[in-house]
Amino acid sequence: MADLPESTVLASDYFDSYSVVGLLALIGVLFVAVAFGAGRLLRPVVPTPEKLLTYECGVDPVGEGWAHTKVRYYVYAFLYVIFAVDSIFLFPWATVFAAPGYGATTLVEMFIFLGFLAVGLLYAWKKGVLEWT
């Protein structure tokens, strides 16, 4: 590689790392395809009327298939996801905050981030979304 320019060598190293990622993705896709193929070949296929019924936790289905679900459950799940993501951002922030030279900047950034979350939580509270009734 002594006769190649330095930019060609750097590009080669750069694409070598992508080839590893591509190979890993290909292995993952092949693994899933082989698993599904083996399952399709090995499972018994004996369709009966009982097997074709909708299964609802061991209870025979009664009535229509359409059921109303309260949106409040989804709101609580969404709020959980928001605060789970918040905690995911807080852990790396704590490690960077301890590094020299990053103290004031990261502190201000995190208070801005937490401020946005607090405003969103306050809005949800004022709208009555957090009341379980």
List pLDDT tens digits, range 67-110: 676 777 777 788 788 788 878 877 777 777 777 777 777 778 88
Note the Cα 109 to chain centre separation in Å. 24
- 27 has a pLDDT exceeding 90: yes
Distances 23 to 9, 16, 30, 82 between C-alpha atoms, Å: 21, 11, 10, 34
Least confident of 2-6, 21-25, 78-82: 2-6
- 20 has a pLDDT exceeding 90: no
Selection from 86, 95, 79, 80 nearest residue 113 by Cα: 86
Percentage of residues in the chain having pLDDT higher than 90? 16
SS3 65: coil
CB 107 within 8 A of CB 131: no
Confidence band of 33 (pLDDT split at 50, 70, 90): very high
